Chain A
Amino acid sequence: MEQILANGVYLGSQYAMIALGLTLIFALMNVLNFAHGQMYVIGGFVTYTIYGQWGVPFVLALVMSCVTLAILGALIEKFLFAPVIKGSAREESTMLLAAGIAFFLDAVILLVFGEKQRGVPKIVDGVFNWDFRIIMPYDRILICMLAILSIVAFIGLMQYTKTGRALRALAQDRTAAQLMGVNVDRYSMIGFALGAMLAGLVGGLLVTITGVNLGMGGPTSIKAFMMVMIGGAGVISGAIWGGIILGFMEAIGLALLYQYGDITYLLIFVSLMIFLAIRPQGLMGKPWG
């Protein structure tokens, strides 16, 4: 049981981080960013290149991943999403654009980083073993703690800074925020950059554990959407709870249901369908949007 709890905490923390960026972008711009997984993958590859290939310290590589993705996110918002949102009232326009960006980034990743699975040297050696009740490599413990710290820092940024207040105002009511003097265009770009940066951060953190490859983008986006749907689209606390719930469901399912084959995700999807039928707005979402 202890091992299941430990796995659940670890999976939950990394999933929550993946979902945070996606839900932030949705909250601010009502955009379902299908390219979120690809941004995560690029973050992983940037850290792989800078830390794994060039030998630059891991923390610096992580910062470079965040900066790269923040710039990429800002450019994507300014030159792609902002014009489409202004020019089209139909929500599917941004969905199609996001899907197109996902395919484009997949192609770019293949060209630049190749088709192989990539990994980096462990940042901490050794395994924590508590009498075989909990076995957890130290690097996972460190990444889990860093993920939790990042989530706390993100919440702090959103709660206690001027930028965070502006972003929250934008998420609550775009028109009202504009009337109160918030520069909507500027903060939309900052918000998108922040969401992409979170994807880059988690990609850079997890490349030390899971490695990274070209094909991880799509499945990562799907998992992120599941977490957002569980927690409630566009709600920061919802994304965190969605990640933690999915992490624990996965850890418990894999530990207890293994003898029945791979039915964990089948049950998760069935549960999700039933849950959404009862509460379509998710745990923390509001029915009116």
Chain B
Amino acid sequence: MQRRSLMKAALTAATLTAFGATAAFAENPVLKIGFVGVTSGPAAAWGISNQRSMEARAAWINETGGYTIGDTTYDIEIVSFDDQKDPKRAIAGMEKMAQEGIHYVVGPNVDDGAAAVRPVAESNGIMYFPYAFPKELYQAPASNAVLGMVANYQSGPAIYKYLMENEGVKTVAFIAANESDPLSQRDGGVEAAEALGLEVVSASVTYQVDTTDFTPVLTPVMRAQPDLLVLSGVSPANAPQLIRSARELGFQGLISTETAQDAGVLAEGAGDLANGFISVGGASTPELASPMMNEFVQRYTDMFGEYNDESNTKVYALEYILETLKADPSAITDVDAFQATMDTFEAPNPYMNGDAKLRYVGMSSFGQRRQVAVPLVVNVYQDGAFETLFVAEVD
């Protein structure tokens, strides 16, 4: 009898707990936001920092009661798809998002994936935020892609100009992986450098994306002895090895890239040899990071065990989507309304100190507002951390 009572009590408690959990989960309707990007293989770090940024922010929103758009408060659910850096998989991922009724997707991470998903996104009413630079994705008649970061053809000239004026740089060499993204970034960099009057002393050296030993690759570049070595489109996995090999070969000039990097990875892979390395970052340096940015970093770290500095630039896309939907709640299912709102949208940038704004830019580069206005923060690595070199804005 006693055992039966105990079982009944346990069953009741379990039922109530399950009901309670369901009730708590169902308290708010769910707004699904998609992510299609690379989270496996050599470039996994790019997509995983995207996905984890979104998941950390969504968990934070849900924990604090949800996100209010119009009269409704939503819990945010991130639906992720690993495209394995394969355009065919990226299309399948975007089709999955369409089947789930998702209208807002972050990704893909690379040029060919972003180009491949365009027809699926446009025909299914999906706005997507790629981390890819080809201008035709954002210029009319393309309509549904929004560049989620600063492009190399925007950051490169700013960095080269700064280094010409402040460091007396006169000659530059480029090295890139033999892949579409880095090669197109190299070509854009060469064009920008020449337009600024820099002498390009080497731009033909490329390397296999799976290269692990860069000494033989860099030896011919070092013979040119440039003032500045640009690692075009370099992945965080390759950057420390390239820096280390260049320094060990005796290179004394400056080294820069237009991609985001991770200070911990540089510290482990290149140590003090990475001091002075210039890269593009977000608002994580102490003087720029707002209390909200600091809390985001802390929550991300608590959730995943370790922060990734690349997320400084990748925290923004979800915020832009949600803030724009808040500005026009009808856009939740109507991307035309979203696009109309983009032209006038403006909100405070919660991740940066000062009066920085969230707004859509891109008129100069694309002729329409199809780029998020993340700050162009150029960092320099020094003794295990990034320091802000300069901050600029993209129009």
Contact = CB atoms under 8 A, between A and B. Distances in A.
A137 B264 CA distance: 23
A255 B219 CA distance: 7
Given A214-B41, A215-B42, A7 B204 contact: no
B201 to A, nearest CB: 12
A135 B268 contact: no
A214 B210 CA distance: 11
Contact of A262 (B178, B240, B271): B178
A54 interface: no
A111 B215 CA distance: 31
B271 A121 contact: yes
Given A215-B41, A265-B208, A116 B236 contact: yes
Contacts of B262: 116
A135 B41 CA distance: 32
B215 A7 contact: yes
A261 B204 contact: yes
B39 to A, nearest CB: 8
Given A52-B268, A215-B41, A215-B44, A114 B306 contact: yes
Nearest to B178: A262
Contacts of B60: none
B118 to A, nearest CB: 27
Interface string B263-288: 01100111100000000000000000
Nearest to B264: A116
A265 B217 CA distance: 12
B207 A135 contact: no
Given A7-B216, A116-B265, A135 B249 contact: yes
The 6 closest A-B pairs by CB, nearest first: A215-B42, A219-B210, A119-B269, A210-B212, A117-B237, A262-B178
Given A127-B248, A215-B237, 10 more contacts: A110-B44, A116-B45, A119-B268, A129-B250, A210-B212, A210-B213, A211-B241, A218-B41, A254-B216, A261-B206
29 contacts: A3-B219, A14-B213, A52-B268, A110-B40, A115-B49, A116-B237, A116-B262, A119-B240, A119-B268, A120-B268, A122-B271, A129-B250, A135-B250, A210-B212, A211-B241, A213-B45, A214-B41, A214-B44, A215-B42, A215-B43, A215-B44, A216-B210, A219-B42, A250-B216, A254-B220, A258-B205, A260-B204, A262-B178, A262-B206
